[in-house]
Amino acid sequence: MKKAEPKSKLFKISLLSISLLLMIAPQISPVLPLMYSAFPNISRAGVETLSTIPNIGIVIGLVLSPFLIKLIGTKLTIIAGLVITLIAGTYPIYATDYPTILISRFLLGAGIGLFNSLAVSLLSKFYQGNELSTMLGFQNSMGSIGAAIFSFCVGCLAFQGWHITFSIYLAALPILILFGWIVVLPHEQKNISTQKIPMTKDENKVNIAVIKIALLMFFMYVFFMPMTFKLPQLAITQKIANVSQVAFVSTIVTLIGIPVGMFYGYLKKKLQDLILPIGLFLQVIGLLAIAFAVNLPILMIAAIVLGAGFGLSVPYIFNWLGEVAPKNSVNFATTITLILVNIGCAVSPTIINWLGNNLSNGSPRADMTIAGLGMTILFCYSIMHYFKTQKQH
C-alpha cells in the first residue's frame, strides 16, 4: 500500500490525532465526588490528587522524552507514550485499590508527557510558513476538541459509576493504530543511516530567546489558570451562577479555542506579529471582566473573550519558539517550555493565593483581578516584542 504523503489529509489527521489526548488527563474530575465514598479512609484532598497528579507525571515524561528519543527514536517514543496512556488510563476501570490507582494516574501523565512536546515540534519537520501556522492552529484546537469530547463522554457515563468513566482513555487505541500505521519520519531514518552522532550535541541547546518564551508561557499559565480554580468560588459567592452554570462557562473557554485555532493560519497571515499583543490583551480584558462580572451573560461574554485570547496566544508562541530555537533543538526547546507550562499550572493556586493574601483581601474577585493585572504585564512585554520585531524587519 502506498504511504500517505505529509500533504495528504490522512497524514495530517494522523499527525494531529495524538493532540486529542493532551488534555484528557483531568477530564474525569466531575466524578471525583463519586469517588469519595469509594475510598472512605482517604481524605478528600487525597482523592482530588487523582485529578492533579498526572501533571507531575507529564513533567517527568517531558524530561525523559529526549533521552528515550535517542534510545529508540521519535516514532517509537510516541508509540510508547500512547501504549502507557492506554494501559495506565484504563486501569481504574477495574481497580479498587487507591495506591495503585494513584500510581496509574501518575503513569498516565508520564505517558502523555512522552509525546506532549512532539505533538507540536513534529509539525515543523513536515511544514513551513503559512502551512505550519495553519497546522499549529489546528494542533491547538485538537486539544480543545479532545477535552470537549471526553468531558461530554464522562458526563454521559457517570450515571453508571465512576469506574466506567475511565473508559475514555480507550481512545488512545485507535489513535495508536492510526499514528503507527500512517506517520513515517524519513528524516529520523536518514539520520540513523548516516550515523551523524556529533549532531546530537546540538539537539539539547537553548538560547536566551527560548528561555524568554518558556518564562512567558510559565507566567501566562499562572495567570490564566485562576479561570479554573477561582471562577466557581467567585461566581457562587457573588451569586452570579450555580455549579452547573459555572461548568458551562468553563466549557466555553475551551470550546472557543476551536474556531480560533481553525482560523489562526488566516489571522497570522493578516496580522503577523500583532497576534501576540492582541491575544494577551483579550486575556486581560477577559480576566478583568470575569472579576467584575455582575451577571451570567457578562460572565459568558468574558469567557468567550478570554478563550479567544488564549487560543491566539498559544499557537503564536509555539510558532515563535520554532523560529528562534537553535537548529535541531526545536523538540528540546518545546520540552523545556512545556515543562514550565505544567509547573505554571501546578503552582498557579499557590502564587495567586499568596499574591491575593498579601496585596489584597484574598477574595476570589481580588484574586481574579490580580491575575488580570499579571496578564497586563505580559501584554506590555508583548508590545515591546512587537516593536522590536518590526524594527528588525
Query: Nearest to residue 302, comparing CAs of 314, 286, 317, 316?
Result: 286
What pTM was computed for the model? 0.71
Reading the block at residue 182, the C-alpha cell is: 500512517
Reading the block at residue 107, the C-alpha cell is: 503513569
Gap between the Cα atoms of 116 and 19, Å rounded: 8
Looking at residue 326, the DSSP 8-state letter turns out to be P
Q: Which pLDDT score is estimated for 363?
A: 83
DSSP, collapsed to helix, strand or coil, labels residue 218 as helix
- Please check whether residue 51 is in contact with residue 313, taking contact to mean a CB–CB distance below 8 angstroms: no
Q: Which pLDDT score is estimated for 120?
A: 82
- What are the φ and ψ backbone dihedral angles of 7, each rounded to 5 degrees? -80, -15
Gap between the Cα atoms of 151 and 132, Å rounded: 29
Q: Which pLDDT score is estimated for 350?
A: 78
- Residue 247: what residue type? A
- Residue 218: what residue type? F
Q: Which pLDDT score is estimated for 18?
A: 93
- Residue 25: what residue type? A
Q: Which pLDDT score is estimated for 328?
A: 72
- Please check whether residue 229 is in contact with residue 349, taking contact to mean a CB–CB distance below 8 angstroms: yes
∠178-91-64 over CA atoms, to 5°? 65
- Please check whether residue 228 is in contact with residue 250, taking contact to mean a CB–CB distance below 8 angstroms: yes
Gap between the Cα atoms of 291 and 360, Å rounded: 14
Reading the block at residue 248, the C-alpha cell is: 458551562
Reading the block at residue 36, the C-alpha cell is: 469519595
Q: Which pLDDT score is estimated for 287?
A: 93
Q: Which pLDDT score is estimated for 193?
A: 37
∠27-33-39 over CA atoms, to 5°? 110
∠211-273-317 over CA atoms, to 5°? 35
- Please check whether residue 63 is in contact with residue 77, taking contact to mean a CB–CB distance below 8 angstroms: no
Residues 6+ apart with CB under 8 A from 67: none
Q: Which pLDDT score is estimated for 195?
A: 40
- Residue 209: what residue type? A
Gap between the Cα atoms of 336 and 225, Å rounded: 19
CA dihedral 326, 329, 334, 337 (to 10 degrees): -60
Reading the block at residue 271, the C-alpha cell is: 496580522
Reading the block at residue 328, the C-alpha cell is: 535541531
Gap between the Cα atoms of 290 and 234, Å rounded: 9
Reading the block at residue 264, the C-alpha cell is: 489562526
Q: What is the mean pLDDT of each run of 10 residues along the chain (393 residues)?
A: 73 91 81 80 76 84 89 92 96 93 94 89 84 82 81 79 91 94 68 41 72 92 81 77 68 78 78 87 94 90 90 85 78 82 79 85 86 94 85 70
